[in-house]
């Protein structure tokens, strides 16, 4: 009815703020606007490509998928212009309104937060990461007109117009062919960009590997290489080319931790170029919006986010897999059930794992940062996917009682085991510091046995699934039934003469029982403790002890589990306590000390619901200690 009426809209608040920054600040790296617009054009054409796999009833089905960058002639004194054209999927009037202005933009908010954090940041380095790349055009534009016509045959062309301030408007427009044109009216101080030579340089620098041809001006030769780097022999590709390819594909400006490039013809034909990003989040979300690798056949993109080739726990790997053995019209369903795909998946996973192992051996420092970033994925895999164990366990790393703060693998642990040791020992807790002092380590230290520190909050979830590795049982050191070799010589030599009479010791045990009551299941003498006064061990029938930590972490109706208290009769503190119990059984220090010993032990176990509750008691103890 009122098609001729122009509609005016306000930008979402966060977009307004973002635009304000872009319009009013001076930036050094403004040429990234072109990278963002070319990337959007490329996305729009990829969507067109996929639409046409199943639907040829579209506007201009035979149009070449290409990008044209032009510098139109303008009259003397008129502001200079640039136009960027694509033959992509286009936008209807409604889509122009939502996509370029009224959709809620969490990305804009994150961008603003990031910029606020660090004043030295250049927006060009970060804007693409937040899904708001389009707006970077306002660094160089006084006005932008987006003229678009959707691939849907019945849709009409429309134009979106804005000067990057509060609002934009949308009007009907004249455009016969499919796709989008971005008309940029340049700011006075950005006229340098109205130069074909310069634009070509920018395309080469930032968009060389875009998968559609980019033409600048009337030049018939494309400005970008549009090269399938993965089809080249690894020996013909430079480090710089890998880096550029990765950055242009992902818009992640951190260098990848690992690059996997390989070709093979048996058992399946495959050319692949894969990357392990440095960070879990960030840049990778920019251009690549979902997990999965790009699947090509005969150099034609078949799936943009193929998740069938790598297990979930490797979903952070990105890149290209190209196989001539899969057919071009392979649909989503057949991709999953296809025998070739299964072989392809096996090959690709094998190569990635091999590369990670190589990274661990050749560049241990890089591996440490990789493990910090992605180790969680592997641990989750163990907890959820039985078949993953064999693949991921060799990649696990822990700090241990003998690793000197460094990370060690299960294999290295096994290599260091003395012949008499048959099991792998680990201690669960909240931090390396707390477990390093765990009383459970006493007998292991005394026998020079290595213990792995499992201090990641996810470790208690993993431990029930990790019964053994390479036929060695994994044992939690708080397990009272662990049998350790006798300490023969030491027992004779420096085992301190127990100064405690049997009767005195029993009286102390009695006080523990009456003080702690039903909070514990038993109090008994320890056979193993050396440097610690007490420890808590699990009753043998307790099946879910690792889950207790999880419940505490998740704060789910957590109740402190009932443990066995083992008391070290040779410890000076226990001896002192025994004398107090004998000489002045009513001394308030006795109960306070027992309570505090118990609380401290809970903290060390990672089982205390709220350690700050101990503070008043500690204060009371200090008062008593300083009073005399």
Contact between 132 and ligand ADP by CB under 6 A: the answer reads yes
Q: How far is the CB of 69 from Mg ion (least distance, A)?
A: 16
When the beta carbons of 103 and 614 are compared against ligand ADP, the nearer one is: 103
Contact between 181 and ligand ADP by CB under 6 A: the answer reads no
Give 222: exposed, middle or buried? Use CB within 10 Å, 0-12, 13-18, 19+.
middle
Structural Rg of the chain based on CA atoms: 33
Task: Give yes or no for a contact between 601 and 478, defined as CB atoms under 8 angstroms apart.
Answer: no
Q: Which does 124 bind (CB under 5 to 8 A by kind): Mg ion, ligand ADP, none?
A: none
Q: How far is the CB of 178 from ligand ADP (least distance, A)?
A: 10
When the beta carbons of 134 and 396 are compared against ligand ADP, the nearer one is: 134
Q: How far is the CB of 36 from Mg ion (least distance, A)?
A: 5
When the beta carbons of 19 and 435 are compared against Mg ion, the nearer one is: 19
Contact between 131 and ligand ADP by CB under 6 A: the answer reads yes
Contact between 276 and ligand ADP by CB under 6 A: the answer reads no
Give 405: exposed, middle or buried? Use CB within 10 Å, 0-12, 13-18, 19+.
exposed
Q: How far is the CB of 408 from ligand ADP (least distance, A)?
A: 41
Task: Give yes or no for a contact between 373 and 279, defined as CB atoms under 8 angstroms apart.
Answer: yes
Contacting residues for 463 by C-beta, under 8 A, at least 6 apart: 426, 428, 454, 474, 476, 546
Give the three-state DSSP class for 186.
strand
Residues binding ligand ADP: number (CB under 6 A): 16
When the beta carbons of 250 and 259 are compared against Mg ion, the nearer one is: 250
Q: How far is the CB of 457 from Mg ion (least distance, A)?
A: 36
The single residue among 133, 256, 375, 561 that binds Mg ion, judged by CB under 5 A, is 133
Contacting residues for 393 by C-beta, under 8 A, at least 6 apart: 382, 410, 466, 469
The single residue among 15, 21, 38, 40 that binds Mg ion, judged by CB under 5 A, is 40
Residue with tokens 């979106």: 160
Q: Phi, psi (5° rounding) for residue 409?
A: -95, 165
Q: Phi, psi (5° rounding) for residue 328?
A: -65, -30
Question: Encoding tokens for residue 47?
Answer: 């969507």
When the beta carbons of 134 and 230 are compared against ligand ADP, the nearer one is: 134
Name the one range near ligand ADP by CB under 6 A: 127-135, 417-425, 479-487, 492-500. Answer: 127-135
Question: Encoding tokens for residue 333?
Answer: 């369903």
When the beta carbons of 43 and 595 are compared against Mg ion, the nearer one is: 43
Q: How far is the CB of 95 from ligand ADP (least distance, A)?
A: 7
The single residue among 133, 429, 460, 606 that binds ligand ADP, judged by CB under 6 A, is 133
Task: Give yes or no for a contact between 25 and 127, defined as CB atoms under 8 angstroms apart.
Answer: no
Looking at residues 34 to 93 of the shown chain, list those that interact with ligand ADP (rule: CB under 6 A). Answer: 36, 40-41, 43-44, 86, 88-89, 91
Q: Tell me the C-alpha distance between 64 and 45, whole Å.
A: 10
Q: How far is the CB of 41 from ligand ADP (least distance, A)?
A: 5
Give the three-state DSSP class for 364.
helix
C-alpha of 164 from chain center? 34
Q: How far is the CB of 36 from ligand ADP (least distance, A)?
A: 6
Q: How far is the CB of 91 from ligand ADP (least distance, A)?
A: 5
When the beta carbons of 110 and 324 are compared against ligand ADP, the nearer one is: 110
Q: Which does 99 bind (CB under 5 to 8 A by kind): Mg ion, ligand ADP, none?
A: ligand ADP
Contacting residues for 505 by C-beta, under 8 A, at least 6 apart: 498, 525, 567, 569, 574, 578
Residue with tokens 């023969």: 488
Kindly list the distances between the CA atom of residue 589 and the CA atoms of 101, 412, 579, 616, 617, in Å, as whole numbers in the listed order.
69, 47, 12, 14, 11
Which residues in this chain contact ligand ADP in the complex, by CB under 6 A?
Answer: 36, 40-41, 43-44, 86, 88-89, 91, 99-100, 131-134, 180
Which residues in this chain contact Mg ion in the complex, by CB under 5 A?
Answer: 40, 133
């Amino acid at each position: 009815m009122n098609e001729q009426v122009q509609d005016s809209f306000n930008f979402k608040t966060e977009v307004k703020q973002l635009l304000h920054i872009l319009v009013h600040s001076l930036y050094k790296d403004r040429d990234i606007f072109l990278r963002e617009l070319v990337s959007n054009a490329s996305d729009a054409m990829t969507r067109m490509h996929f639409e046409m796999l199943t639907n040829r009833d579209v506007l201009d089905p035979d149009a070449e998928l290409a990008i044209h960058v032009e510098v139109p002639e303008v009259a003397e004194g008129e502001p200079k212009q640039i136009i960027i054209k694509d033959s992509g999927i286009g936008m209807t009037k409604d889509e122009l309104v939502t996509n370029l202005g009224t959709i809620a933009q969490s990305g804009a908010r994150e961008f603003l937060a990031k910029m606020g954090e660090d004043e030295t940041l250049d927006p060009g380095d970060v804007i693409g990461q937040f899904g708001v790349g389009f707006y970077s055009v306002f660094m160089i534009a006084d006005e932008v007109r987006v003229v678009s016509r959707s691939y849907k045959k019945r849709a009409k062309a429309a134009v979106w117009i804005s000067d990057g301030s509060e609002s934009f408007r949308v009007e009907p427009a004249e455009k016969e062919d499919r796709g989008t044109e971005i008309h940029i009216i340049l700011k006075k101080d950005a006229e340098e960009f109205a130069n074909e030579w310069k634009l070509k340089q920018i395309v080469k620098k930032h968009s060389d590997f875009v998968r559609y041809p980019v033409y600048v001006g009337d030049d018939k030769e494309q400005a970008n290489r549009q090269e399938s780097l993965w089809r080249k022999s690894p020996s013909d590709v430079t480090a710089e080319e890998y880096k550029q390819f990765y950055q242009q594909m992902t818009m992640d400006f951190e260098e990848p931790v690992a690059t996997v490039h390989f070709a093979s013809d048996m058992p399946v034909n495959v050319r692949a170029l894969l990357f392990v990003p440095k960070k879990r989040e960030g840049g990778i979300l920019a251009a690549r919006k979902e997990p999965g690798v790009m699947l090509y056949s005969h150099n034609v993109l078949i799936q943009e986010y193929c998740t069938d080739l790598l297990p979930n726990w490797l979903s952070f790997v990105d890149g290209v897999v190209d196989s001539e053995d899969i057919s071009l019209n392979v649909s989503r369903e057949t991709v999953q059930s296809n025998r070739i795909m299964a072989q392809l998946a096996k090959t690709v996973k094998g190569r990635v794992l091999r590369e990670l192992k190589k990274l661990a051996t050749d560049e241990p420092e890089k591996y440490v940062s990789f493990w910090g970033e992605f180790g969680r994925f592997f641990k989750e895999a163990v907890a959820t996917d039985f078949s993953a164990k064999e693949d991921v366990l060799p990649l696990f790393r822990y700090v241990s009682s003998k690793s000197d703060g460094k990370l060690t693998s299960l294999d290295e642990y096994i290599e260091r085991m003395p012949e008499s040791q048959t099991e792998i020992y680990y201690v669960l807790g909240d931090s390396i510091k707390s477990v390093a002092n765990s009383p459970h380590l006493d007998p292991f230290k005394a026998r020079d046995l290595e213990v792995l520190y499992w201090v990641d909050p996810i470790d208690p979830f993993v431990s029930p699934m990790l019964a053994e590795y390479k036929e060695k049982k994994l044992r939690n050191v708080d397990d009272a039934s662990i049998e350790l070799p006798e300490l023969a010589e030491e027992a004779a030599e420096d085992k301190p003469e127990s100064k405690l009479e049997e009767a005195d010791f029993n009286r102390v045990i009695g006080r523990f029982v009456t003080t702690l009551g039903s909070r514990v299941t038993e109090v008994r003498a320890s056979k193993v403790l050396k440097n610690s006064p007490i420890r808590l061990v699990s009753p043998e029938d307790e099946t879910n002890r690792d889950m207790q930590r999880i419940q505490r972490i998740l704060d789910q109706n957590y109740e402190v589990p009932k443990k066995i208290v083992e008391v070290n009769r040779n410890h000076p503190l226990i001896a002192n306590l025994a004398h107090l119990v004998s000489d002045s059984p009513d001394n308030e220090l006795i109960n306070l000390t027992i309570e505090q010993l118990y609380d401290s032990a809970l903290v060390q176990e990672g089982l205390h619901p709220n350690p700050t509750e101990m503070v008043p008691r500690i204060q009371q103890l200090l008062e008593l200690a300083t009073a005399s």
